[in-house]
Amino acid sequence: MLTFSERVIKIALEIPAGRVTTYGRIARAAGAGPMASQSITTILGKAYMSGMKNIPFHRIVYADGRVWLGGEYDKKRLALYKKEGIKLDKNNRIINFRDVLFEFK
């Protein structure tokens, strides 16, 4: 049986290109409540630092469609959004958020 952290990593890797999901949706899909969404970045960050460099951080966004920008990864993230056809407005919100939102089954 997978731990919560292992489920979070597995679920994050399932987000398809050109789609996004939220921290809360990942937490729920991994079997936890909404408060667990606060731990998603920490779990994925630890996995990244341990060598999992294929985590699609840019596909995980806030519930209101805002994307996280800040720091050294901005340029790379913006290029990935453009490559995957995800358009942002001037406030770093996904323009067609409902259309690209990925729901786990």
Give tens-digit pLDDT for 4-29.
Answer: 999 999 999 999 999 999 999 999 99
Q: Are the C-beta atoms of residues 19 and 34 closer than 8 Å to each other? A: no
List domains and CATH numbers for the chain. Answer: 4-100 (1.10.10.10)
Using only C-alpha atoms, what is the Rg of the chain? 13
Is residue 9 packed enough to be buried (19+ CB in 10 Å), middle (13-18) or exposed (0-12)? buried
User: Within 13 Å and on the Cβ side, how many CA atoms surround 29?
Assistant: 21
pTM of the model: 0.93
Interval 71-86: pLDDT, tens: 888 899 999 999 999 9
What local confidence, expressed as pLDDT, does residue 20 receive?
98
At residue 86, the pLDDT reads 97
Residue 27 in contact with residue 14, Cβ under 8 Å? Answer: no
The reported pLDDT for the residue numbered 73 is: 83
Tokens of 57: 């951080």
What is the number of other CB atoms lying within 10 angstroms of the CB of residue 5? 16
Q: In the block, which residue shows the tokens 């995957």?
A: 84
Kindly tell me if the per-residue pLDDT of 36 is higher than 90: yes
